[in-house]
Amino acid sequence: MARYRPPPIPASEITPEPVYRARREFMAGALALGAGAAWPGESAAQMVMNVSVVEKLQFRPNPRFSTDEPKNTFEEITTYNNFYEFGTDKSDPAKNARSFRTRPWNVAIEGEAEVTGSFALEDLLKPHALEARIYRLRCVEAWSMVIPWIGFPLGELVKRCKPTSRAKYVEFTTLLDPKQMPGQRFPVIQWPYVEGLRMDEAMHPLAILAVGLYGEVLPNQNGAPLRLVVPWKYGFKSIKSIVRIRFTEKQPRTSWELSAPREYGFYANVNPEVDHPRWSQKRERRIGAGSLWDRRPTLPFNGYDEVAGLYRGMDLRKFF
């Protein structure tokens, strides 16, 4: 007699080991916290979508760096995402980041550079013309989206800071504020969240600092007010709600490397030939397209072949 075999659990539903160890503790605390208060005058629609500040941005399209693949909807992008500072389920950020305050916002520039100090976000953005770029985003959990970001090249900011010859890496740090970010009250990973890029990666024109999507300022749950987007790397490299940018001589010790070094490396380049220890990376599910079980082949460097030269001669299985 033939036996029914259920479909395999989709990779998108597999939780990183450090997260599921802390999830039960987080959920118990989250029940006590409640849903949080909305901004005064916030409409019901805004509460659901969690766009606490609706503001149109002035920008120009940049087709050179944009894919022509169908974009995910605003709702998909803002209600299905990882932002563990606000919870470990995909829907938690949209619910728990509603009252997150993103203004005023300062960013510290530190380390091996001539221009350092604390800068208001508005002053940091003034010299830069914003661009619309439609990027593929590939998550290490084997799901993907196509997102219309608004931002400017990270390399432009790096040049303004005038790094010294000792600067080999750029380190980024997320805000640490457990009062506003309930996920930080639990040991999901080591807080605050830290990520980093090699200097040549930071200078590549594909790497951007994003301040918006779909023509509006970033919603809180998507990394407001300033986040990194590195489209050829897995999504956890694109750090959110940045408060510090530091130029360093040594490779930064990043959060996921510290929490699960066997599973998450510093480079995190999308590579279908290097599986996660607990699931394959050869295929991915595009959110919003087809059924839960539809998969498409994962592309090396997420399809951004122009970055391959950055890693010429490197063993990408060792430097994963």
In a domain, 309, yes or no: no
Q: Residue 175 domain-assigned?
A: yes
The string of DSSP letters for 68-112 reads -SPPPPHHHHHHS---GGG-SSTTHHHHHSTT---SS-EEEEEES
Structural domain includes residue 218: yes
277 is a domain residue: no
pLDDT digits (tens, 9 = 90+) for 266-276: 999 999 999 99
Query: pLDDT tens digits, residue range 47-105?
Result: 223 333 346 799 999 999 999 999 999 999 999 999 999 999 999 999 999 999 999 99
3-state DSSP helix/strand/coil % of the chain, to nearest 5: 25, 25, 50
Percent of the chain with pLDDT over 90: 80
Confidence check: pLDDT of 178 > 50? yes
The mean pLDDT of the chain is 87
Pull the structure tokens for residue 135: 């990027």
> In this model, does residue 7 exceed pLDDT 80?
no
Torsion sign over Cα 271, 274, 278, 284: positive
Confidence of residue 14 (pLDDT cuts 50, 70, 90): low
Number of structural domains in the chain: 1
Query: Which one has a higher pLDDT value, 202 or 16?
Result: 202
What is the three-class DSSP state of 302? helix
- Residue 142, pLDDT > 50, answer yes
Q: Per the domain annotation, does 272 fall within a domain?
A: no
The range of the structural domain enclosing residue 231 comes to: 11-260
Give a yes or no: residue 48 inside a domain.
yes
Mean pLDDT of 122-142: 95
User: What's the chain's Rg over C-alpha atoms?
Assistant: 19
Is 80 within the bounds of a domain? yes
Among 108, 98, 46, 72, CA closest to 224: 98
Give 7's DSSP letter.
Answer: P
Eight-state DSSP code of residue 292: T
What is the pTM (predicted TM-score) of this model?
0.84
- Closest CA relative to residue 182, chosen from 33, 43, 283, 41: 33
pLDDT at 293: 79
The answer as to whether 307 is a domain residue is no
What is the percentage of the chain residues whose pLDDT exceeds 70?
A: 83
CATH of the domain at 113: 3.90.420.10
* 206, 230 contact by CB (below 8 A): yes
